Amino acid sequence: MEDIYQILRKERNEESNIYLYKMDDYWCAYERSAFYMSSICKVDTIFKTVNAMKESVMLITILKKRINDMKNPHLTILEQSDTNMVIKCHITCKGFLFWKESFIPVVGSPNSIEII
């Protein structure tokens, strides 16, 4: 998986592609990709975490199901490997910053989060 800072740089201004990263048996999306996935699909988990060193907040969504089985006409898989996926989103969703600020409570360190 890419370094988290590379992922966040990629997400900063993205408005049409969704980037997913495989972690164990789950697909994770960060920031704007997390927003798009939760706006268009049913995701299994969404959480907000804080990086105390950088004083920044990050949103993450978790999908337990196989993305290929989702059958969503608004999404087209552009690239796929065993660990990464790029999906074209055919809908423009607005409100990312509002969603990020108003979403669920902040969780401490990502290391303290256990995916069930």
In a domain, 110, yes or no: no
Asked if the model's pLDDT at residue 26 lies above 80, the reply is: yes
Residue 20 covered by a domain: yes
Whether the predicted model's global pTM rises above the 0.85 cut: no
**Does the residue 108 lie in any domain?**
no
Instruction: Determine, yes or no, domain membership for 45.
Output: yes
SS3 for 27?
strand
> Is residue 92 a part of any domain in this protein?
yes
Task: Give the total number of structural domains in the chain.
Answer: 1
Exposed/middle/buried for residue 61 (C-beta within 10 Å: 0-12, 13-18, 19+): buried
With a cut of 50, say whether residue 115 has pLDDT above it.
no
Q: Which range marks the domain in which residue 40 is found?
A: 4-103
Q: What is the mean pLDDT of the chain?
A: 77
111 domain residue, yes or no: no
Say how far apart CA 75 and CA 71 lie, in whole Å: 8
**Whether pLDDT at 116 is above 50:** no
Examine residue 114 and state whether it is found in any structural domain, yes or no: no
- Does residue 116 form part of some domain? no
pLDDT of 72 > 60? The answer is: yes
